[in-house]
Structure 1
Amino acid sequence: MTLEEKVIILGALFHDIGKFEQRCKEIKKPHEELGVLLLDEMKEYILTVFDNNESFFNEVKKIVLNHHTGGKTDFVKIIKTSDHLSASERIKKEEPEPGTSQWEHKLLTSVFSKVKITADKYPEPLFFEQRLFIEGEHNAIIPTVTENNAKTRKDFGYRNTTFQEFKQDLIEILKFHKKTNDFHTLINLLLVLFEKYMWCVPDFTGNKFTDISLFNHSKDVAGISHALYKSNQDGKHLQLIVGDIPGIQKYIFDITNQRPAKILRGRSIFVQILARKLATKMLNAFGLTDCSLIMLAGGKFYILAPDKADFESTFNQILITIEKEMAEEFNYELKFAAGHYRFNHEKLRGKEISFGDIVFNATQSLEENRYQPWKHIFDFRNFSEEATVFNVGFSEQDDPELMKCRVTEKPMVLKRVRLLKKYDETESDILVDKQVELEFKIGSEIPKDNAFFLFDEEEKERVLNLKEVIKLNKQKAEKLLINARLKPLLKEKNIEYLQNTTFLEVASFVSMGGKSVIPFDKIAEKSEGAEYLTLIKGDIDNLGILMAHGLSGDNKDTEFTSISRTTTMSNQLKYFFSYYLNGFLEKWCEVNNTYLYTVFAGGDDLMFIAPHSQALPLLYSLNEQFEKFVCENAEIHVSYSLTNFRHSTPIRIVSEFSEENQSEVKNKLKISKEKSVDEILNYPSSFMIQNDKAGTYVFNTEVKNVQLKELIELVNQLKSWVKPEAENERSKLSHGMLRNLMILSEIMRDYRNNGETKDLLWHPKLTYQVNRMLKKNGKYLDEKVGKFFEIILKINKAEKEKEFEGLLYPAVCTVIYLIRN
């Protein structure tokens, strides 16, 4: 990388750094001047980036000082253009700040308060407290501060000492470069540092639309500037690249072994590691840094790339390389798809197009290529045996069972066979594919924070903790650091161990017994009643439409689809489904004395396993937090399914049932099924919770999420009647009556769904059971039980009573599970 490129990247990253000092100290000095003063303090270390050439250091200072007023240098012009592209709607209001007295909005508001598709109005804005992105602070990503309170930072903002702590961390990171001359890792560490402190700091405080974080803005300006600098076409265009690993969930669950706890977690984390590795390959192909990786979630990533004459050839060449590696490493089981879209950044700046449109078009390009796997390495016009997967040497053992991987039941290529020792607590040794061996190590050995994944040419991939990496002294080996926490990293004296490191945040929480992952049978034992497990699956409804159109506004004045607002929204979702979820699940286990297991969480999906009796309360609590996270925005919601299973059920089968259940709740509660996207976008309130999906599939029943609390209360009520807590208290509802109620409530549900007269038989049958078992001399034995059944026995129910009736079947089924031995 040239020194000029380093000027562009560092100048862009630090162009607004003075704002961070303003936010911490309320100092009355323009942020440009504060930024230059900070650079002068760090001059000794920053000079090493430019081979001690002071003229390049001065160019960085010019960028920081003049990025608003403009300057004669090309560097300043590029950063100014990028600043406009990053956060275009507030540029006209941005001016050299004479002080902070007139800039009263100190806190970052949630971008989800600016999301609106067909609703009549925006949600009330909520703001984040300023707290560091560190372990134990996961609740910080739930915005709780109201607009009136947000104008003061006294109770919710950073303190003067926060900036001093930031400077000390910055010095340690710059020292790393002085020792190693590793610019790429320097940038990665700076991004981790900026995210730790500035994820919750607004880049602009001139009005209440303070929803772009200073972290995202600084990072995006650096990525945009680098792409603009490297573009050599007409100077008007850039490229948006999107890459994806299709079929992630199918791959994760493709396990037949009946003890999948360690391997399942490993597979989930591995596919995210793989996506991150492929994104790095794409960045390296175009000579870019992580600043250009504008979005990464689950198995998908977006890269802002330069528009160069050789773009297409470079893009195709890296796809050939990736496809060859994927074919060799995964035997064509996992594939990679990518697309790109060339856009006019001048039109984006002028709001002739929105960034949501650009993301949509790039994704369309990806979708077109998704169904053409391996097209870069196979010439289907000249197809030969040498070019196929069949021309490989499979393992040939005397025992046919030894030819298969004992975890996936798939044939093994001879050179990939490994002996996996002590697979489970029975300490059995089994033959597996080498990829399974790696995923087992990830699932069983990876710590929750600062976990290193080492790509070593000599010994291939390994999982290590911080002390092991330092002791190994593999400075030049490629490393991926999962769930990085800066404080312990920077405490180490020989910080050189961080060379050649990239970073990734994932949802990795599982309950541990010592150093071992709690197996599924032990999790099931935590369930009250029947020892069943529940796979909780959820995904955000209409996320593609939300990303493409949710920030479009009603007109150009309320159009919020700048690059950094879109990336801020993506980042905040990533925070919820990784950082927050890890902390939330850990706290739930602690409070409820239970075990939980995260299968996957990323992008718009989440899957985790809980004891059956905990599943409904856990889901309700998590969804409640998600609604707070999105500012109670009724157009942003999640659909869930609960799939119950025994711990010995093959997880592949559980996954298939779960997928069917998820489809059921999506399809049956979705409004306007036959309408196109354009028609739906013009359909009033079509995305609101009350009209759209936003439901949970439990015991073959679709329940709206707004009814979950009522369902839990009904479960508790029925359970208390069947199995009173006091030992000397008689039950008000027999087990037999409960079983009859289950059968008849299912018929009742069918009647409501299809209206067939034959299903009305539930009424006389239930009336008979009630008269025989719950009444004496024509009167109910218990008044509350009587009121309950009088509502159930109504034929012509009011709308609220119909909703209550719809909860009956899943409630009764849940209670039966809870009271079983």
Structure 2
Amino acid sequence: MAAELITPLEAALAGLLHDIGKLAQRAHPDEAALRAAYGGDPGGTESAILPLRDGRYTHRHALWSDFAIREAEREGLRWPKEVNGARLGAVAVRHHAPRHDDPSDWILAEADRLASGLERKERDEAEEAHGGTFRERELRALLPAIAIGRGAVPGAMWHPAEEASPEALPPQASAPKDQPRRFGLLWTAWQEGVRAFGRHGLSARRFERALLGLSERLLWAVPSSTVDQPDVSLHEHARAVAAIAAALAAWHGAKDTNEVAAVKDRSVPKFRLAALDLSGIQKALLRLDGQKGASRILRARSFLMGQTVEAALELMLEKLGLPFSSVLLNAGGKAELLLPDLPDLETRLEAVRGELDRWMVAHWQGDLALVLAAGPPFAAGQFLRRGPDNAVAEGYRQERAKLAAALDAAKLRPLAGWCGEGGLVGTGVIPAPFDPARGACASCGVRPAVIETPLDRAWRCTVCDAACRLGQRLPKAEGFALLEPEAAAREDAPAALPGGLRLAPWSERGAAARASFAFAREGAGSAVFRAPAHVPLVRDPADPRYAHAGIPEDERGAAGELMTFAAIGAEALEMHAGRIVGRDLLAIVKADVDFLGRVFADGLGRDRSPARVAQLSRLLDGYFAERLPWLLARRFPTTYTVYAGGDDLLLVAPWRFALPLALALREDFGAFSGGNPNLTLSAGIAFVHPRHPLALAVEEAEEALEAAKRGGRDRLGVFGRVLSWAGLGATLDLAEALNGAVRAEHLPPTFLHRMRWFAARRRAAEAGEARAADWNPKWRYQEARFLERAPAAARDSLRALLLRALPPPGRGGEADAEIAMTVALWRNR
């Protein structure tokens, strides 16, 4: 009779822990700690969990995994009551030597092999067996190796083993020489982390989320494979193993086929990929009736949208009886999951789809839709890099392509679970009756007003009321939690989410929280760290620039409160010679990664294992969600993040900082990608008055971004033109020189206006416009007259500056003179 089968959650936890011994092994210079832990002789344990080959026990990291789990238990780790800790621990450490009659052992062993796309990692084992340098090996950086035919990739680059941080994301050209010390620090941090959340009696789902967060924070730059797959982290491999193991456990549990032979059968379709996509984000996000309170509402709306996806995933996984480790990717409003092909999967998915659609209509009135789609069933062999005939296989890539097609089809009928199979064509607010006394929501202007917001006594719809109240607290919050329905009913949790969950702006809630998140790494405990989006806060409400911009005192906010868009615009003003100069305009900045579809489809070469695909996704999301806030806080602190994550961003900045910000962003992204020409960024910028409707301003920025992509990508669209990034740098240098001449009173703004007219004529002549062909002699006459009247001491420098700004035909530089002159004029208005 077959042994009792491990549950999907136990399988996931075993998958997350199965290779933790690799960190422990590399953190110790020898096996003295093993001998001490096993009474001087680990031989009995070796024979139970290690494979025996040629008279010796191999894959010794599995013994270290047993050591790590035992150490955690000795330190007080308490397994959730819903799981059998002893069983999952035993399954975790036997993944290289599964017992011949135990299907649970084979579930994890199969998951370990399928997750990497490799049957075995022979070269890794050979290096370990012969005393190789596996303790000194670094994680090879993945992004510098992405190749889609847009240029030669740079040489190998590396990520030192260290905790995740914005500073650690860019790879290094030379490998560090102190990896054992770094592994030691991570091992200590791992032990401390497990102790921090392992003693609190957490629920199983909360325990799993905490373990996932700890793994992501500490193991992101620890190589799982030192030779065979040196650019896949221990975290991504473990998470992929957890997802596959959970799906296998659920499939065999549902089929009641828990024989080892059935588990090892790779020809039977057992898996399906699924996607959950939030559609209509931009229109719903930017739906505002006026600008009052917009900065508070927008950030909170964007945050709520992300948490809506999180809650929807929780609901979906709960209905399917699966752990959160089943989520392979989750970024930018889109998630990808690995599911078991259960006999009633379609029925269950349809029930989830209906519940989600009804919730979205009830709360968002069709302005947003959660689109749920699943690909066809596939067998385990599709994960492997090599097919049965040892030919290169395209299985996992093909399954992801099928899922993408299914998702595209589902997007054509959003909210089908609410209105029937006919669906809607796109998203948009579904009309609903208004209370004549309250009218439309004060914020969105389209949904009925049903709640009076205590902050300003305005009547709003439920969504905008939640965003308004959350927006007041979010910038000061230490974290947030997704509360269970029972706990949410007892607390002031302003935001409703799918599945009855509620969002509360505090990180720790103990057993009352389904998931808990902290905005700071230190002291996170059982909360998962999530970097907060950067938003600017008021520093001095009495700043004279606010009065100059006409902002009433009661609209400036108190120190420490969120800046309004009017205040952000006023930050562009400057003090010069005792007076305020410049224009109080906003810049809307949009940017995204070029050729992202090709990057995922072709950039990984032949190795497209689940772990490697997930690593690519998480790195890109990490840049926008964590590195970008770090960059903004240090160099452009008055920039407001509307959204940033996945592969794109939308920012609002004082106009004067937008061009330097775009250039700094591209340079920083270049460092993050290791200078790889196959991984680039395009951006678009629109300049508007703070009272300009934000939705229209974003459309203008979107048009500028599209122009940059049509112009060849890896460029900036601005002022109706497309600049290369080198051209932007040259333009900013010229703008600064012109501004300096104006500030020194050597170049009058009136003459600079005239120069800009000639620069436009010069550009027209270069475009073939015959009427502009005489620009050069006319300009040289104006130039000579101006220089005659210029101060003698400044004449030579002015002559050089004018020649640089308006060179003769055929001698143009990279700078766009018109844009440079516009910037200088705007700064001195």
Q: Distance in 2 between matches of 1:563 and 1:751?
A: 55
User: Deviation per CA, 1:13-37, whole angstroms, max 9, x where unpaired?
Assistant: 1111111113333445821111111
1:36 corresponds to? 66
Q: Which residue of structure 2 lines up, in the alignment, with residue 690 of structure 1?
A: none
Structure 1 alignment gaps of length 5 or more: 424-428, 553-558, 671-692, 725-729
Rounded Cα–Cα distance in structure 2 between residues aligned with 1:249 and 1:17: 41
Residue aligned with 1:95, SS: helix
For the 8 Å contact 1:107–1:151, the answer to whether it is kept is no
State the 1:100 CA deviation.
Answer: 5.6
2:604 pairs with 1:551: yes
CA distance in 2, matches of 1:636, 1:247: 27
Give the 5 Å matches for 1:328-343: 328-342=362-376, 343=378
Q: Secondary structure at the match of 1:783?
A: helix
Residue 63 of structure 1, CA deviation: 3.6
- The corresponding residue for 2:116 is 87
Work out whether 1:745 is the aligned partner of 2:781.
no
Gapped runs of 5+ residues in structure 2?
35-59, 256-266, 387-391, 496-501, 540-558, 575-581
> For the residues of structure 1 that align with 2:189 and 2:721, how far apart are their CA atoms?
53
**Residue 808 (structure 1) aligns with:** 817
Conserved 8 A contact 1:507-1:602: no
Match of 1:511 among 530, 537, 554: 537
* C-alpha distance in structure 1 between counterparts of 2:117 and 2:136, whole Å: 18
What's 1:348 paired with? 383
Verify the 8 A CA contact 1:114 1:560 in the aligned structure 2: no
Q: Give the Cα separation in 1 of the matches to 2:773 and 2:623.
A: 46
Among 70, 75, 96, the residue aligned to 1:67: 96
Matched residue SS, 1:336 = strand
| Structure 1 residue 657: Cα displacement | 1.7
Alignment equivalent of 2:769, drawn from 756, 763, 766: 756
Residues in 2 aligned to 1:420 and 1:47: alpha-carbon distance in whole angstroms: 43
Alignment partners' CA distance in 2, 1:418 and 1:264: 18
Aligned partners of 1:286, 1:515: CA distance in 2, in Å?
Answer: 44
Structure 1 residue 394 and structure 2 residue 397: aligned?
no
Question: What residue in structure 1 maps to residue 702 of structure 2?
Answer: 659
Residue identity opposite 2:217 in structure 1: K
Tell me, yes or no, if the aligned pair for 1:26 and 1:100 is still in contact at 8 Å: no
Q: 1:403 to 1:764 in 2, by over 3 A?
A: farther
| Cα distance in structure 2, aligned partners of 1:711 and 1:114 | 32
Q: 1:391 to 1:195 in 2, by over 3 A?
A: closer
Partner of 1:372: 413
Does the CA contact (< 8 Å) of 2:397 and 2:608 recur in 1?
Answer: yes
User: What is aligned with 1:676?
Assistant: none
Q: Which of 101, 105, 116 matches 1:76?
A: 105
Alignment of 1:111 with 2:111, yes or no, is no
- Over 3 Å counting, the alpha-carbon distance change for 1:548 and 1:187 in structure 2 is same
Counterpart of 1:408 in structure 2 is 444
Structure 1 residues 42, 411: closer, same or farther in 2, change over 3 A? Answer: closer
Determine helix, strand or coil for the equivalent of 2:592. Answer: strand
- Note the C-alpha offset of 1:718: 1.3
Which residue is equivalent to 1:717? 737
Corresponding residue of 1:677: none
In the aligned structure 2, how far is the partner of 1:240 from the partner of 1:616? 41
Q: Partner of 2:261 in structure 1?
A: none
Matching residue's letter, 1:462: P
RMSD across aligned C-alpha pairs, in angstroms? 3.2
Letter of the structure 1 residue corresponding to residue 363 of structure 2? E
Deviation of 1:173 after TM superposition, in Å, equals 2.2
Query: 1:282 — aligned with what?
Result: 316
Tell me: CA distance 1:48–1:576, structure 2 relative to 1, closer, same or farther (3 Å).
closer
Partner of 1:243: 276
Partner AA of 1:516 in structure 2: E
How far apart, CA to CA, are the structure 2 residues paired with 1:312 and 1:88?
27
- 1:174 paired to 2:203: no
Instruction: Indicate the percent of aligned positions where both proteins have the same amino acid.
Output: 21
Matched, 1:163 2:163: no
Shift of 1:278: 1.5
Residues 1:572 and 2:609 are matched in the alignment: no
Structure 1 pair 370–467 and aligned structure 2 pair: CA distance change class (3 A): closer
Is the CA contact (8 Å cut-off) linking 2:11 and 2:246 kept in structure 1? yes
Q: Offset of 1:327 from its aligned partner?
A: 0.8
1:185 equivalent in structure 2: 206
Aligned to 2:553: none
Give the 3-state SS of the residue equivalent to 1:722 in structure 2: helix
How far apart are the structure 1 equivalents of 2:724 and 2:462?
Answer: 44
Report the AA paired with residue 718 of structure 1: L
User: Normalising to structure 2: TM-score of the pair?
Assistant: 0.82
Matches within 5 A, 1:422-441: 422-423=455-456, 429-441=457-469
1:16 matched residue in structure 2 = 19
Give the deviation of 1:625 after TM superposition. Answer: 1.2
CA contact (8 A) 2:295 2:562 kept: yes
> What do the CA deviations read for 1:743-767 (whole angstroms, capped 9, x no partner)?
2323433444x42322334334423
Is 2:537–2:560's contact at 8 Å kept on the other side of the alignment? no
State the 1:485 CA deviation: 4.3
Distance verdict in 2 for CA 1:224–1:635, change over 3 Å:
same
Query: Which of 520, 525, 531 lines up with 2:565 in the alignment?
Result: 520
Equivalent-residue separation in structure 2 for 1:596 and 1:121 (angstroms)? 35
SS of 2:650's equivalent in the other structure is: strand
Question: What is the CA distance between 1:461 and its match in structure 2?
Answer: 4.1
Mapped to 2, the partners of 1:701 and 1:391 lie a distance apart of 40
Matched, 1:586 2:639: no
1:648 CA drift (Å): 2.2
1:330: Cα distance to partner? 0.9
Deviates more, 1:323-332 or 1:480-489: 480-489
Please state if 1:705 is matched with 2:705. no
